[in-house]
Structure 1
Amino acid sequence: MDIELTHKPSYTHVRVTLEDGESILAEPGAMVSHSPTISIETTTSRDGLLSSAKSMLGGESLLANEFTAEGGEGIVTLAPPTPGDVHHHELDGTTLYAVDGAFLAADPSIDIDSEFGGVKSLLAGASITPLALKGTGHVFIEAFGGIERVELDAGERYTVDNDHVVAWEGTVDFDAHRVGGLKSTLLSGEGLVMDFTGPGTVWYQTRGLDAFTSAIAQALPGTGDDDNGGTGIDDFL
């Protein structure tokens, strides 16, 4: 399998070249194009992501497409639905956790399952059900905006807004909580955050999809301050 990432970091496009008989698993809608030697099978029969109802709790579809090269080398290209980057990660018998909707594609040999965020996360009101990606092979994680990498030493802590978290290594411990009470949340615009403790690596996205959609909604005619002379959608065009 040969992998090339182009148009980074704003509109990353993943080009995967498969040898005869090789396959890659991708989320529905991820495919951009493929060569004639690629066959596509939509399946729900695999373990983990595709066979477990828990995957719906993780924000992922119960369906996925498996692309296989048949009769020779084949090419398939993939891309996320929103503008942003893609992180290519190689697992070597290790675990990578990805947040809701961040999974783009992986080797079919990768075990994919949902894991609950823990009692503390649930008490904080967090619906955090990260996907656990385990095994050996290629994994592709998508982001809205650019991707930042944070390396943590043993015992070192780092906090990331929930809307910006993308993925973290299995060696990293995490917890979720809200910033202050309801009043401070409303006034500051901040809400749920995740605390990570090393050792290991954390990846976060430079834009938050929830914040972006809220900003667009406020700019639409008839919403926000548009009727009172505030910023309207025309101001963005």
Structure 2
Amino acid sequence: MRVQTRHTPGFGVARVLLGPGEAVQAPSDAMIASSFGITEVPGSRGGLRAHGKGAPSVFTAPAKGGWIDLAPDGPGDVHPLEFDGRTGWCVAKDAFLARPSTVRHDAGWQALQTLFGGDSGFLEHYSGTGSLVLSCAGPVDQLMLDSGEIITVRPGFLLAYPDTLQVRLRAVDPSAPQSIRTGEGLVLDFAGPGPVLVQARKPR
């Protein structure tokens, strides 16, 4: 699977190029068009929902390969995040757009359960190899942290970070309302070394 992007950063489209018999998981409503012969197996209605859409479908290329064009449900960018098989990534829950079977969604990843106190938070963990395509509300910035450098990020702007970073979740004002599921009233402190990906606009 290879990914080409166009119309970035304002109205990004991801073209996923598939080899013979190769498959990709993506929300059905995100598909703009595909080469002839791509087959779709819809996801179960009770399954994972992505970026406000229904359960992802599995799109499979025929024997000669093919392509599928995918877009988020609003203005913004698309960002292929490359996995090397060594480092996993924590990703904003609403950012998933497409992934091959070689990139795993690690439901119930222990470190996130610890971060959110066992609740269902605003992040998901992925691991494996290949490209995880993310939808972003705005252009993507990579903030590269030096060893020992600490920064603070608002959850609404966070896109992804490698699971090798040290991270702490805290309340802006302990007496004000907070939400583990949306990030309202909370911030994340990151300690380097490593990158933090943020999006220049908050999702709607």
Distance 2:104 2:2 in 1: 21
Q: 1:80: which partner in 2?
A: 72
Q: 1:156: which partner in 2?
A: 149
Which of 71, 85, 96 aligns to 2:63? It is: 71
Q: CA RMSD in A?
A: 2.9
Distance 2:84 2:17 in 1: 21
Seen in structure 2, the aligned counterparts of structure 1 residues 151 and 180 have a Cα distance that, compared at 3 Å, is same
| 2:107 is equivalent to residue 107 of structure 1 | no
Compare CA radii of gyration and give the structure with the larger one. Answer: 1
TM-score scaled by structure 2? 0.83
TM-score scaled by structure 1? 0.72
- Deviations 1:5-54, CA, capped at 9 Å, x for gaps: 0001011100122222111111342211111121111235xxxxx99x7x
Which of 180, 190, 200 aligns to 2:194? It is: 200
Between structures 1 and 2, the one with greater helix share: 1
SS in 2 for 1:29: helix
- The runs of 5 or more residues in structure 2 that have no matched partner are 179-183
Distance 1:158 1:73 in 2: 44
Between structures 1 and 2, the one with greater strand share: 2
Answer whether contact 1:37 1:72 (CA < 8 A) is retained: no
SS in 2 for 1:101: helix
Answer whether contact 2:3 2:131 (CA < 8 A) is retained: no
Answer whether contact 2:3 2:17 (CA < 8 A) is retained: yes
Distance 2:38 2:121 in 1: 35
**Percent of aligned positions that are identical:** 31
Q: Which piece of structure 1 moves more, 114-123 or 190-199?
A: 114-123
- The runs of 5 or more residues in structure 1 that have no matched partner are 45-49, 214-237
Question: How many residue pairs get matched?
Answer: 196
